[in-house]
Amino acid sequence: QEGGLLRRYTKEEGMPAVAVRGLLMLDGRLYVGSERGLYSGLEGRFRREGSNPVLDQALVTALTLVGANKLLVGTFDDGLFLLDVTGVTPIGLAEGLPWPQVANLQVDQTHVWSSGPRGVYRFGLDELDALLRQGTPLAPEPILNEARDARGGQRLRCCNGGATSRGLILNSRLWFPSLNGLVRIDPASIRPERKPPKTVIEAVESDDGRRWLAQESLRLPEGLRDLTVRFTALSFRDPEGLRFRYRLHGFEQDWHSPGAHRMARYTNLAPGRYRFEVDVLSGGSEQPRSTAEMVLVIPPYLTETVWFRSLVLLGILGLAAMLAAWMRRRSQQRERHLQELVERRTEELRRVNDRLRSANQALAAESLTDGLTGLKNRRFLARHLGGWRREHLLGEQPSDERLWLFLIDLDHFKAINDRHGHLAGDEMLCQFAQLLLRIAGGTGEALRWGGEEFLILMPEHALRSPEDFAERIVRAVRRADFRANEHTSVPLTASVGVASFPALADRSDLVDWALAMELADAGLYHSKLNGRDGWSRLHPAAEARYRDFGSGAGAQIEAVLEAGLARWEQSGQDRASTDG
């Protein structure tokens, strides 16, 4: 109001259109509690106060000063907030409040009083200072309590916050509205208990009805493992507000709440010495008012005692010693008998081992050799390539040496088997194997790959060129005199696929010789498609990489050819032109 006129503040001045629940002046600034947070105004301009996301959306119900420069804010469902020069401090259930609903706040010389739909409680100004300085939780004292779930205080439905005047201090007394009229609280008549309620352990009970009165130390009968401990505490001021917590040291570390029951139940306890503790709490505090303790001794069964287990252990050790002595004597007798037998058999075993060693060597050689042709087989290839790679490519001084693979297949050999019989076909395979041995010479290896497919491995330094060597194989097969029998000569031709290992210029296939075999197989298949009796090579380009053949050479042929990552070389092709 200015000059007898009322002025309205709107969004233009920073004040949104929300219901206002409280006003307070502090240091020349007007603080406004609204249903959508806290605002402050200075010289006609308003802003949201606090920068706390919970406070920004809270329904502010009460504003009051604490000291000279602290503002305490109450909210309908989010507890309290304290504003000072350091910022905003939220005070909720985690800080000790018994409930978060606040309708009105009052401050006297020693306490902060909070009323709300749940009742009235108070806490000391020194407690608030300890919370701000050290983070010590509050210990509120309920004065009125509508007895929903919090304990402590007189039972009364009070202070729903709906009245226009929701609380005041008049003549050192507090007045609050209730559903049944005014409630007056005289702080001078609220006197703390002179003596806290004493916690008492009443008795220990068994399931069969036996009962033992509490004592400093109680030894229970043997075999009792399930028990109930009953306890209580006497308070004339607030008997229903008493809360308990208990634990059994030696069995658990955490505290438990019995709720409305003043008893603790334990089952299947192991033998041993335990200490039962029970604390009584009152009001909103979690600090124990008094504590009672009792030692419980659960005796072991006979079979659980130390001396019984020691006797059993000694008996087992004695039996073990007797058994060991008997076995030692028996062993000595058998040792004398076996010594003679060993001496007789030693020479026999030596001769058997010699024969076995020779047989193993023969078996190892046979496992790497084709049974029909006498050539090396696929198993030899895996071992040979692994050793060659370690020696030439992965050694301390790796070289640029490559190993060339020539995959050879006899053309139309099935027709020869059908015409002359399989025995004649096997004889011709043996003749072909001898031809390959002569071609490979002392520097290469000839293998039977399977059926009528064969493989020659040649080191690069032993070749003038791989193309000339492939041509030599084709010509040698074409000119050779293969005989189905003494009187029948059978002409043969062969198709050859050529590849090197490593196959790529950057040697990125060094770890996988399967790519070289796939390239050789692709070349062999290409020779078959182009009239047989010749050789072919799928030559990767210098920029080709191992990942370009990720699905295998056979599956990627068309893709790598279209991408210019490989080209075909074959019999009768002018290599000079293709290389250019």
Strand pairing category for 482-483 and 566-570: unpaired
Interhelix angle 422-440/466-479, rounded to 10 degrees, is: 140
Quickly count: other Cβ atoms within 10 Å of residue 574's Cβ.
8
State yes or no: is 452 an active-site residue.
Answer: yes
| Reduced DSSP (H G I as helix, E B as strand, rest coil) percent helix, strand, coil of the chain, to 5 | 30, 30, 35
DSSP 8-state code for residue 36: T
- Residues 565, 542: Cα–Cα separation, whole Å: 8
The one-letter code for the residue type at 424 is: A
Strands 243-249 and 272-281: antiparallel
Could you tell me which residues come within 8 angstroms of residue 101 by beta carbon, excluding any fewer than 6 positions away? 76, 77, 116, 117, 118
For residue 399, report the phi and psi dihedrals to the nearest 5 degrees: -110, 175
Would you say 279 and 199 are in contact if contact means Cβ atoms under 8 Å apart?
Answer: yes
> Structure tokens of 455?
């493989």
Query: Cα separation of 191 and 310, whole Å?
Result: 63
In sequence order, which ranges of 368-406 are alpha helices (DSSP H)? 378-392
Q: Which long-range contacts (CB under 8 A, 24 or more apart) does 168-177 make?
A: 168/106, 169/106, 169/108, 172/108, 174/106, 174/113, 174/120, 176/104, 176/115, 176/120
Cα(142)–Cα(284) distance, rounded to whole angstroms?
7
Q: Is 170 helix (H, G, I), strand (E, B) or coil?
A: strand
Q: In 3D, which of 231, 268, 235 has the Cα closest to residue 251?
A: 268
Q: How would you label 156-182 residue by residue, b for 16+ Cβ within 10 Å and e otherwise? A: bbbbbbeeeebbeeeeeebbbbbeeee
Q: At what angle do helices 413-420 and 422-440 cross, to 10 degrees?
A: 140
Q: Are 128 and 119 in contact (CB under 8 A)?
A: no
Q: Which residue is catalytic, options 141, 452, 518, 569?
A: 452
Neighbouring residues of 205: CB distance < 8 A, sequence distance ≥ 6: 211, 212, 227, 228, 229, 230
Can you name the residues that pair with 404 across neighbouring β-strands? 458, 500
Cis status of the peptide bond prior to 398, with omega within 30 of 0: no
From the list 204, 196, 193, the residue with the least C-alpha distance to 230 is: 204
Compute the distance between CA of residue 568 and CA of residue 557 in angstroms, rounded to an integer.
10
Amino acid letter, 164: T
Total residues belonging to the chain: 580
The rounded distance, in Å, linking the Cα atoms of 512 and 41 is: 78
Structure tokens at 480: 């050779």
Query: Encoding tokens for residue 339?
Result: 């010594």
Residues with catalytic roles: 452
